């Protein structure tokens, strides 16, 4: 199968485009000038149900939708497009809207940048002690773009070259020099957009001279949902599978952190075959997704998805709460509802699906799990737990916030019993130190 991509300038050439009403097309054109838009023949032919397109989760997951912009911003862009074809003017309007949409959430740009000999390394993040994130420069795009993606600024060119690295030597030296690092997590974009040879160039140094601290290589990817043919019929499919087998045989754990948002992604023949081929090399597949209004906000969807994953030999890992950026209003579920959906789904599966953790927010201090809502002396509170902490000592700590039925993100929460959350003073100090470093 050959990959064909579609974006703003050619989606109307799709045979299915005739099923799109004038309103839907207008929305794609207006919103697609603000957010990135890319889909492909697999998503269009095998995932989207075109007979019910306006309500289809995969249509909403890759095609821009009207309600992803506020009414004001929608009219602003609509008016601009009516008034001009000038690309610069359209871009100026788009950038003005984009800047209102929190393009750099959770202190990623300033706080997590590692250094070697005092020089900061672009294209890497080291937030939690054991795991370093690596952003290979050739992996900074995807087979299709998710409309909720928190990396949207990089796909529209706002973030430029900051999250990129093509120096495999830098990654190797960094891991070797930092003995607390046990895991490398390749991320993007989607690293599985890379050719096998390019990916191998990052991996080979570790296979030649494995630093004893390195235990695990993870690959964060949506390729099993957006282009499973990568491991079936692409030119480099076998080259990838062989490389994976070599990594596993070398004694390094290799985990595909597969992003699945809906059970339908597990139903196609191509997805099932790709999963089988990967599993046959000895890699583990762990699964994660955000909980998204309009896409997957029901307990039945999640319990069905976890069961199908386990039946296909995948391990449910995280349920996330979408970050406070981009079209967050379109996708946001309240923390209370997120917990209710998680809990009901969790109650309807057996223990082998309950390896999943969530709902979890990746925010500045760490990954915060909503354990639930509890009543103490007839007052409701949020019970939270830090799953990962910028200070490793914070991990595993439970804490409490005042109950707020409207809260959708960590920033909306206030401490239940004290003036500050337990991590706040120390976090502030960390922020000041990193400002000094980047200044």
Ligand X SMILES: *Cc1c(COP(=O)(O)O)cnc(C)c1O
d(C-alpha 412, C-alpha 394), whole Å: 20
If the CB atoms of residues 80 and 125 are measured against ligand X, the closer one turns out to be 125
Give the x-and-dash track for 203-222 against ligand SF4 (CB under 6 A).
Answer: -------------------x
146 binds ligand SF4 (CB under 6 A): yes
List all residues 6 or more positions away from 118 whose beta carbon is below 8 Å from its beta carbon.
Answer: none
If the CB atoms of residues 128 and 199 are measured against ligand X, the closer one turns out to be 128
189 binds ligand SF4 (CB under 6 A): yes
* 120-127 contacts, C-beta under 8 A, 24 or more apart: 120/437, 120/438, 121/165, 121/170, 121/174, 122/161, 122/162, 122/163, 122/164, 122/165, 123/162, 123/163, 123/164, 123/165, 123/166, 124/165, 124/170, 124/171, 124/174, 126/178, 126/181, 127/388, 127/390
If the CB atoms of residues 187 and 303 are measured against ligand SF4, the closer one turns out to be 187
d(C-alpha 3, C-alpha 22), whole Å: 27
Select the residue whose beta carbon is closest to ligand SF4 and give its number.
149
Query: Among ligand X, ligand SF4, none, what binds residue 316 when CB lies within 5 to 8 Å by partner kind?
Result: none
d(C-alpha 123, C-alpha 187), whole Å: 10
Which member of 60, 126, 127, 151 binds ligand SF4 (CB under 6 A)? 151
If the CB atoms of residues 57 and 189 are measured against ligand SF4, the closer one turns out to be 189
If the CB atoms of residues 331 and 423 are measured against ligand SF4, the closer one turns out to be 331
User: Min. distance of Cβ 395 from ligand X in angstroms?
Assistant: 9
Part of the chain binding ligand SF4 (CB under 6 A), chosen from 22-30, 78-86, 185-193, 418-426? 185-193
Query: Among ligand SF4, ligand X, none, what binds residue 199 when CB lies within 5 to 8 Å by partner kind?
Result: none
359 binds ligand SF4 (CB under 6 A): no
Query: Among ligand SF4, ligand X, none, what binds residue 151 when CB lies within 5 to 8 Å by partner kind?
Result: ligand SF4
Query: Among ligand SF4, ligand X, none, what binds residue 323 when CB lies within 5 to 8 Å by partner kind?
Result: none
In the block, residue with structure tokens 């409701």: 380
Residues that bind ligand X (CB under 6 A): 125, 127-128, 131, 133, 185, 362, 367, 388
Q: What three-state secondary structure class fits 376? A: strand
d(C-alpha 371, C-alpha 398), whole Å: 9
User: Min. distance of Cβ 323 from ligand SF4 in angstroms?
Assistant: 11
Query: Among ligand SF4, ligand X, none, what binds residue 367 when CB lies within 5 to 8 Å by partner kind?
Result: ligand X
Size of the site for ligand SF4 (CB under 6 A): 10
d(C-alpha 39, C-alpha 60), whole Å: 11
d(C-alpha 88, C-alpha 404), whole Å: 43
Query: What dihedral do alpha carbons 254, 258, 263, 268 form, nearest 10°?
Result: -80
If the CB atoms of residues 216 and 242 are measured against ligand X, the closer one turns out to be 216
Closest by Cα among 400, 407, 414 to 371: 400
Q: What three-state secondary structure class fits 167? A: coil
User: Min. distance of Cβ 45 from ligand X in angstroms?
Assistant: 33
Angle (nearest 5°) at CA 122 between 194 and 133: 60
Q: How many helices (H) and strands (E) in the chain?
A: 16, 15
If the CB atoms of residues 146 and 368 are measured against ligand SF4, the closer one turns out to be 146
The partner residues of 372 in beta bridges, in order of sequence, read 383
If the CB atoms of residues 225 and 388 are measured against ligand X, the closer one turns out to be 388
Which member of 145, 244, 399, 409 binds ligand SF4 (CB under 6 A)? 145
Residues near ligand SF4, by CB under 6 A: 142, 145-146, 149, 151, 188-190, 222, 259
């Amino acid at each position: 199968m050959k990959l064909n991509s579609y974006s703003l300038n050619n989606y109307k050439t799709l045979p299915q485009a005739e099923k799109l009403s004038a309103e839907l097309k207008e929305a794609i054109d207006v919103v697609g000038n603000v957010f990135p838009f890319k889909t492909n023949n697999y998503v269009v032919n095998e995932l989207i149900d075109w007979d019910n397109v306006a309500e289809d989760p995969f249509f909403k997951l890759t095609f821009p939708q009207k309600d992803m912009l506020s009414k004001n911003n929608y009219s602003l862009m609509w008016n601009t497009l009516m008034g001009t074809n000038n690309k610069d003017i359209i871009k100026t309007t788009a950038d003005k809207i984009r800047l209102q949409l929190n393009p750099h959430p959770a202190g990623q740009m300033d706080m997590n940048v590692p250094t070697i000999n005092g020089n900061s390394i672009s294209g890497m993040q080291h937030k939690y002690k054991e795991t370093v994130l690596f952003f290979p420069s050739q992996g900074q795009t995807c087979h299709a773009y998710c409309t909720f993606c928190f990396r949207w600024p990089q796909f529209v060119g706002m973030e430029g070259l900051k999250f990129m690295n093509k120096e495999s030597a830098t990654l190797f030296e960094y891991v070797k020099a930092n003995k607390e690092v046990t895991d490398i997590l390749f991320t993007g974009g989607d690293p599985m957009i890379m050719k096998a040879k390019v990916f191998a160039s990052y991996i080979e140094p570790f296979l030649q001279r494995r630093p004893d601290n390195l235990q695990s290589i993870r690959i964060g990817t949506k390729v099993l949902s957006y282009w499973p043919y990568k491991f079936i019929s692409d030119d480099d499919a076998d080259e990838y599978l062989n490389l994976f087998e070599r990594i596993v045989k070398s004694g390094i754990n290799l985990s595909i952190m597969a992003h699945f948002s809906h059970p339908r992604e597990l139903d196609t023949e191509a997805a099932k075959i790709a999963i089988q081929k990967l599993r046959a090399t000895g890699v583990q597949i762990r699964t994660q997704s955000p909980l998204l209004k309009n896409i997957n906000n029901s307990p039945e969807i999640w319990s069905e998805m976890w069961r199908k994953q386990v039946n296909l030999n995948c391990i449910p890992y995280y349920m996330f709460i979408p970050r406070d950026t981009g079209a967050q209003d379109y996708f946001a579920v309240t923390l209370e509802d997120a917990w209710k959906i998680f809990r009901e789904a969790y109650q309807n599966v057996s223990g082998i699906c309950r390896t999943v953790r969530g709902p979890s927010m990746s925010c500045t201090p760490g990954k915060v799990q909503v354990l639930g809502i509890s009543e103490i002396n007839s007052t409701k509170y949020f019970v939270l737990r830090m799953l990962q902490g910028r200070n490793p000592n914070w991990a595993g700590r439970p804490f409490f916030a005042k109950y707020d039925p409207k809260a959708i993100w960590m920033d909306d929460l206030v401490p239940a019993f004290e003036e500050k959350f337990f991590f706040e003073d120390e976090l502030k100090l960390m922020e000041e130190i990193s400002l000094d470093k980047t200044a």
